[in-house]
Chain A
Amino acid sequence: MSNEKIEAGLAKYNANVEKAIAKFPERGHLPEQRLYTPLDIAGENYAEEIGFPGMYPYTRGVQPTMYRGRFWTMRMYAGFSTAEESNKRYRYLIESGATGLSCAFDLPTQIGYDSTDAISEGEVGKVGVAIDSLADMEILFDQIDLGKVSTSMTINAPASVLLAMYIAVAEKQGVPSTELKGTIQNDILKEYAARGTYIFPPRPSMRLITNIFEYCSKNVPKWNTISISGYHIREAGSTASQEIAFTIADGIAYVEAAIKAGLNVDDFAGRLSFFWNAHNNVLEEVAKFRASRRVWAKVMKERFHAEKPKSQMLRVHTQTAGSMLTAQQPNNNIVRVALQTAAAVMGGTQSLHTNSRDEALALPTEESVMIALRTQQIVAYESGLADVIDPLAGSYYVEAMTDRIEKEAWDYIKKIDEMGGAVAAIEKGYIQKEIQDSAYKWQMDVENGARTIVGVNKFHIDEEPPKGLLKVDASVGEKQKAKVEAMKAKRDNEAVKNALADLKTACADENENLMPHILAAVKTYATLGEICGVMREVFGEYEAHVNL
């Protein structure tokens, strides 16, 4: 059909719509246009902008075979209480068919405090497992073959320390570091902007990150050294476009820092990975995944002149949106998670964590985690969504939306560039403010009914409080404290002192890679708090920028 014919058809259709609306008004006002036609993607250059899976600009996916080769990694984020308890949960997940581990650490661990620190009171073992020293890490991976499993660790400010502990445990198991597979999140910029578990100011934090890039490129080559995360930016309330725009701006900052530190872009860029949120609006999410791959490929090729295809590929781990889970009628969350899973899969994710129905209320029970994992398996094996690569390509709507999100992302990236990059934009509070504005708008839309959340502001029922929630044993803190004290009494404290002194000297020398020093300290059973304490002394601490 020629464009003229389509235009004529569309005009006729629009006239009909006017008549119809006059009789039966439509429900509310929606931001998207009513109908998409070939006219909406008339200017699309298929060969250059969409292309083929495994080929630049990777709009349709990063591998040539995608899920026809193998499914995404079904990776369930877990960890709570003590290392012993979490180790049990990991082994249960592996037996249930999970193909990768994902460690959640408690907040003291994420912020570099020992369980014995006064500030840790009430937090030990709550949102993840408490790791104070190598001794805990040995228990956490007891009877788990680190040569086989791939492990993702949600750890940022002290990522270097946890990675060092992982390497040390593997060494004890007889697994060389060159064989280790996994990811550390290691994305400090989004901590400043959205997630809040930062320790040091931006400059030393960026140094730690580039130290890790450099160390791993030589010693842990299969390790994903960073997971540049939009997930938490979205959780903090951003839109889909903001999620990928701010995250890719962060990615640009990391690449620039590494290049400035003297690394060759193709030596480390292939180990960069991303982390997206799978939100409620299925088609918008699919478009977001597609747009993000295209933007990153262009950034890497055109801006950084990366030559290796792997350096240009945006490989992504995904988690379904925690903030979209409702405390009301929690079983409805199973359905939400299924739709979000469908979005992530049609978007072409490399790995996926699905949230459990009860997570707006507490940490998930084993039963809830099983349903969440089964959701992924049903989508993989039964739904047919994984049978064809990038099945929504060519949809007028999805292609137009992919273009729209890409454009919005470029606009933000340009603006952030003008401010001097992501670090400067965060220090000015710009990114935080944009996210907060979106979060506030969302909340007001829910409150004034412009946005419906089933079971919350519509279809509400009176219900009994849910039973059988997981409760973290309140004595975990005391137990963990006792463990740390006992460990400290046993270790060679002189060796610890020396290792920490050596680390301190290294911290003060900007040209020194800190990884070997941290690894040496970890092996003496120096605690996470002791190691981060030394770094705090030299580096200082970040002060948040709040601009409400």
Chain B
Amino acid sequence: MIFCCRRPIFHKEGDCVDIAKELLAGNRLALSRAITAIENEYDDAAEIMKKIYPHTGRAYVLGITGPPGAGKSTLTDRLAHEYRKQGKTVGIIAVDPTSPFTGGAILGDRIRMNSLTLDEGVFIRSMGTRGSLGGLSHKTADAVKAMDAFGKDIIIVETVGVGQSEVDIVKAADTTMVVLIPGMGDDIQAIKAGILEIGDLFTINKSDLDGADKLVREINMMLDLDTFMTDWRPPIVKVVASRGDGIEELTEKVRTHREYIEGNGELNKRRTKRARDEMMDILNSRIGNYVKKKIVDTGRLDDLVNKMLNRETDPYTVAEELVGEMLKV
């Protein structure tokens, strides 16, 4: 089967290539175009995903989040170097916010990872949040799958831990790392509620700055208060990413967490839940699209709304009728 990709190029001998096949064969451009198809919601994205899905589930996914300025990109860079040293291949997805006003984005995480660019064992992709609410985590998850099927051993997903959708992205990771830096003052109070609870481990970056120990104490105190705690107590690792200090220990801690969740079935539980959520998401979005096509695009919704406004009918009755009609229940 031939997939026609978005641009008429990426041809071989005059024909569009099979992106999924090429991706699975290790073609880097195919991987890149597959992610574009996912991001831009091209029609062939689903076809690509179908083909590569059987080859996924092998990579380990590490989520990195934290406030702006915590040095996440530098940390990601150093972690990738460390994993490369350990003989692993690495995929990186770096998510940056899209401007809600212009729809544009400056994706600047790569600049911290320039020394990885020419390493063939590393593939870095920057993504903008593009203002999509639920869609982002879905797209990121599919991009992770593309890198997984491509054969990356470790996939690092890095995002700013500010919005709910960004937090959702890292929740989809096997291990989630929260990065903080000393001297954020009261900020930690605000962050506490949002991302502290999702951390499987905490990294204190720039720990050569004053206040690193204070921050460790504060996190410990919050962990002490956490009543939902399983018998995994998130370790707190002090690093100075810019100098590479503490990075090896960090990968060691990630490994420990991985062994822990593999050993007690938690990883399976997480992945099962993720697969289920994903399935529901896709189903919901398909149904939504179908409804949109049948009701919205035909103008029928407007008629029904007018009837409702005239109190000729009500939304509950309409919904029941429509569902009955479309799903034949």
Direct contact of A and B (CB under 8 A): yes
Q: Within residues 511 to 548 of chain A, which ones have a CB less than 8 A from any CB in chain B? A: 540, 543-544, 546-548
Residue of A nearest to B111 (CB): A546
Return the CB mask of B201-235 against A: 1 if under 8 Å, else 0. Answer: 00000000000000000000000000000000000
Residues of B within 8 A of A (CB): 69, 74, 106, 108, 111-112, 242-243
Set of chain A residues within 8 Å of B74, measured between Cβ atoms: 543
Complex contact B112–A543 (CB within 8 A): yes
Set of chain B residues within 8 Å of A546, measured between Cβ atoms: 108, 111
Set of chain A residues within 8 Å of B111, measured between Cβ atoms: 544, 546
What's the dominant secondary structure at chain A's contact region? loop
* 12 A–B pairs (Cβ distance < 8 Å), ordered by A: A201-B242, A428-B69, A540-B243, A543-B74, A543-B112, A543-B242, A544-B111, A546-B108, A546-B111, A547-B108, A548-B106, A548-B108
Q: Within residues 425 to 477 of chain A, which ones have a CB less than 8 A from any CB in chain B? A: 428
A548 to B69, CA, bound (A): 13
A231 to B179, CA, bound (A): 38
Residue of A nearest to B210 (CB): A420
Beyond contacts A540-B243, A543-B112: 5 other A-B pairs, Cβ-Cβ < 8 A, are A201-B242, A428-B69, A544-B111, A547-B108, A548-B106
Set of chain A residues within 8 Å of B242, measured between Cβ atoms: 201, 543
Set of chain B residues within 8 Å of A544, measured between Cβ atoms: 111
Set of chain A residues within 8 Å of B69, measured between Cβ atoms: 428
Q: Give the shortest distance, in Å, between A439 (CB) and chain B (any CB).
A: 15
Central interface residue in A543, A544, A547, by most chain B CB within 10 Å: A543
Return the CB mask of A322-357 against B: 1 if under 8 Å, else 0. Answer: 000000000000000000000000000000000000
Residue of B nearest to A429 (CB): B69
Residues of A within 8 A of B (CB): 201, 428, 540, 543-544, 546-548
Residue of A nearest to B112 (CB): A543
A201 to B244, CA, bound (A): 14
A544 to B74, CA, bound (A): 11
A76 to B106, CA, bound (A): 40
Q: Give the shortest distance, in Å, between B290 (CB) and chain A (any CB).
A: 41
A370 to B157, CA, bound (A): 58
A548 to B242, CA, bound (A): 20
Residue of A nearest to B68 (CB): A547
Residue of A nearest to B69 (CB): A428
A201 to B242, CA, bound (A): 10
Set of chain B residues within 8 Å of A547, measured between Cβ atoms: 108
Set of chain B residues within 8 Å of A201, measured between Cβ atoms: 242
Q: Give the shortest distance, in Å, between B105 (CB) and chain A (any CB).
A: 10
A424 to B69, CA, bound (A): 13
Residue of B nearest to A547 (CB): B108
Q: Give the shortest distance, in Å, between B102 (CB) and chain A (any CB).
A: 13
Set of chain B residues within 8 Å of A548, measured between Cβ atoms: 106, 108
Q: Give the shortest distance, in Å, between A427 (CB) and chain B (any CB).
A: 9
Q: Give the shortest distance, in Å, between A407 (CB) and chain B (any CB).
A: 28
A547 to B112, CA, bound (A): 12
Q: Give the shortest distance, in Å, between B139 (CB) and chain A (any CB).
A: 23
Set of chain A residues within 8 Å of B106, measured between Cβ atoms: 548
A295 to B288, CA, bound (A): 65
A340 to B137, CA, bound (A): 55
- 9 smallest CB-CB distances across A and B, nearest first, come from A548-B106, A546-B111, A546-B108, A548-B108, A543-B112, A544-B111, A543-B242, A543-B74, A428-B69
A183 to B243, CA, bound (A): 33
A543 to B112, CA, bound (A): 7
Q: Give the shortest distance, in Å, between A539 (CB) and chain B (any CB).
A: 11
A547 to B73, CA, bound (A): 13
Set of chain B residues within 8 Å of A428, measured between Cβ atoms: 69
A428 to B71, CA, bound (A): 10
A544 to B112, CA, bound (A): 8
Q: Give the shortest distance, in Å, between B281 (CB) and chain A (any CB).
A: 33
Q: Give the shortest distance, in Å, between B316 (CB) and chain A (any CB).
A: 50
Set of chain A residues within 8 Å of B108, measured between Cβ atoms: 546-548
Residue of B nearest to A424 (CB): B209
A249 to B250, CA, bound (A): 37
Set of chain A residues within 8 Å of B243, measured between Cβ atoms: 540
Q: Give the shortest distance, in Å, between A478 (CB) and chain B (any CB).
A: 26
A540 to B243, CA, bound (A): 9
A128 to B149, CA, bound (A): 50
